[in-house]
Amino acid sequence: MNDHQAEREKEMVIPEILPVVAVRDVTLYPFIIYPFSVGRDFGVAAVEASLNEHRLLVMLGQRDQNQDNPGRDGLFDVGTVASVVRMIKLPDGRLRILVQGISRCKVEYFTRESPYREAKIQLLQDQESEADKLAKEALMRTVKGQLERLAGLGKPVSSEVLVMVNGMDLGGRLADLVAGNIEIKPGEGQRILEEQDVLKRLQLVNDTLAKEVTLLEMQAQIHNQARGEMDRSQRDFYLRQQLKIIQSELGEGTELQDEVAAYREKLQTLELPEEARKEIEKQIRRMENMSPDTAETGLIRTYLDWMFELPWNNFSKDHLDLKRAKKFLDKEHYGLEEIKERILEFLAVRKLNPQLKTPILCFVGPPGVGKTSLGQSIAKAMGRKFHRISLGGLRDEAEIRGHRKTYVGALPGRIIQGISQSGTMNPIFMLDEVDKIGQDFRGDPSSALLEVLDPEQNKTFRDHYLGVTFDLSNVLFILTANTLDTLQPAFRDRLEIIELGSYTMPEKVQIASRHLVPKQMREHGLNRERIGFSKAILETIIRGYTRESGLRNLERLLAKTCRKVARKVAEGEDRLYRIKKANLTEYLGPVKVFPDFRLKRNQVGVVAGLAWTSVGGEILFVEVTRMPGKGNLLLTGQLGDVMKESAQLALSLIRDRAEKYDIAKEVFSESDIHVHFPEGATPKDGPSAGITVATAILSCLTQRPVRAEVAMTGELTLRGDVLPIGGLKEKVLAAVRGQIKTVIFPELNESDWQEIPEEIRKGLDFFAVGRVEEVFKIALV
């Protein structure tokens, strides 16, 4: 027990029952003098009762600081016995008292509740141990040092308190003195008051001091930093004003003001949407208040240049003369009647209703059939600007929508760039190779195109760089693709699909003689007096040197021929060179392509199928043989999964009908059936060889030959139905090249058959079938 405390308590006899005063927002510690205001009735009555007897009170803290009349549970159990040193009665009835703490105490129970509270108390003594002596001295030094740091950081601690603290050698008294002279939350102060162990009490006080020191240091750092920033900005402002005055005296430094004035003048002459006008005005104001040398000024300047370059209300006038447009399209392109018809329909409706929503056209077809050049011809026919964007391999969504202007090197997307380059709000946009758009972690560009290619939405297209809406509803978008398989459904749904098939032989000859030959002669400095191509030789070149749906390879061969003639002319042999069959190998070398021919005779287990490839149609033979085995089906020819399943299905169908075709059941368990598709290095897939494989298997098992002049295509079901296929025109062209006489195809493809030109169908017998039995009846001898 503390000696001084014991002596003090011997001098003053403290009664066991004392009046209680509830205090809030502060904690009173022993030996600390503290002023209190007492205004509540039970508190005033308790003070007056103590003054009439022994001038002693129990000061108890409230648990809830906002409670006006706390009950027993609303007061802490541990408080301080205090002596009333002085009391002043205020005019409003409140008391102002000065008290000095004497000892910690614990309330055992209340003996009275009214008109004031009285409580039976037990005095609490400090607890110290000799073993903690060194730790206590170290903590006391630390507490004294922390208090001095606190005072140095601006905490209001009086010099008298600092002197008393430095002279203090009792740990409990030191902890109470420090805790009573710094601002501590009531909860933390109550914990210190309740702690009887001197070492632990010192530790609590030290922790509180350390936390306060850290907060004050951080506060000082923030204050100094803010003051430094403010001083720097004031200095910059002052220097900038001086610089303006100096530049004004020298007649320099007005470039930025001149630039801002030019932007404002340009803004007055433009017809802009309200949103765009507000954004431009905002950026001009920002630029006006900036230094001309900052990086952000350059960013704003670039942004404003883009905004002013866009053709906000500049429209090119459409040529709506239908006869002129038709004449121009016929001159530029041979055939392609469906596309020409669609463009003329658009012009006709545009003529009657200028507010027509612009369609989104998608040209789908094999390479080299003229999809891209057709877009240029449409632009010329309509009198519109033409802009082409190649989307092949595009992976970043920002290429379509642009980057936000806050990024370094930010630019608008390709759509807005194209609008700016074309200079009008209604150009024709050719989006090339949409089926070759990629996607990765930077997003899916085709998803970003969904808004662009929707006539209902693209009126309010928002590019990330511009930050304002832009009207794309007047742009005529034309897309090109080789296949639609890779397009997502939502993207495909927005497009009006127009298919371009492979060119027939007569079409290729006509296009070559009308367009390709004159173009190559012109590019190689030749004319009709130096080189001559007949239609017969063009057909020979097409048959012997090309196998394609389009015309790119044919154009290369014509260019190669013209180059060789141009060299001879340049060497002095200036005369007319006629390209004939006799001298064709001199210009193009030996024949490169050997056409598919039908079988020379009827054979067992060999059937001619018709296949579609990206370069046109081909004759694809199916060969089937049987050998002793265990009922296995062998498939060769680099086949895809769909084709393998189709062959398995064909075998199952034949097994199911074995009895009908007089096939012994033992054949399937004691034999292996091998199905082979020649040209084994070429990958093959698709279901359209279903009836071909079934016919070949049936021919092999029944030893009935297949007619040599027959070719077929069609998907097969397990029930024996023949389902429709695609690419019928290309397949029929392949049959004609291979001198096939009879073509079998699904009856559900009859509409496609009717679209094939009459000159191709004329020499063919055709059978539209719905059941596989019909196929067997026609094909097998």
- Known catalytic residue: 688? yes
Q: Which of 405, 684, 729, 731 is catalytic?
A: 731
Strand blocks (E) in 249-331: none
> Running DSSP on this structure, what letter comes out for residue 466?
T
Q: Which of 422, 446, 688, 699 is catalytic?
A: 688
Q: Which whole-number Å values give the CA distances from 532 to 299, 368, 517, 526, 574, in the listed order?
A: 60, 24, 9, 10, 13
Return d(Cα 14, Cα 667) in angstroms, integer.
Answer: 120
Q: 3-class SS at 239? A: helix
| 367 assigned ligand-binding residue | yes
Burial of 278-299, coded b for 16+ CB within 10 Å and e otherwise, reads ebbeebbeebbeeeeeeeebeb
Contact in structure between 683 and 638 (CB atoms under 8 Å): yes
The reply to whether omega before 115 is within 30° of 0 (cis) is yes
In the structure encoding, which two tokens stand for residue 34, read together? 């503290």
Cβ of 759: how many Cβ atoms within 10 Å?
Answer: 11
| 682 assigned ligand-binding residue | no
Return d(Cα 641, Cα 304) in angstroms, integer.
Answer: 56
CA-based nearest residue to 477, from 408, 414, 530, 519: 414
| 518 assigned ligand-binding residue | no
End-to-end CA distance of the chain: 125
- Known catalytic residue: 731? yes
Query: Which string of DSSP letters, residue by residue, matches 313-342?
Result: T--PPP---HHHHHHHHHHH-SS-HHHHHH
Alpha-carbon dihedral sign for residues 32, 37, 39, 45: positive
With 0-12 / 13-18 / 19 or more C-beta atoms within 10 angstroms meaning exposed / middle / buried, residue 274 is exposed
| 371 assigned ligand-binding residue | yes
Strand blocks (E) in 266-380: 360-364
| 208 assigned ligand-binding residue | no
| 368 assigned ligand-binding residue | yes
| 629 assigned ligand-binding residue | no
With 0-12 / 13-18 / 19 or more C-beta atoms within 10 angstroms meaning exposed / middle / buried, residue 761 is middle
In the structure encoding, which two tokens stand for residue 5, read together? 């405390």
| 61 assigned ligand-binding residue | no
Catalytic residues, by residue number, are 688, 731
- Binding-site residue positions for ATP: 365-372
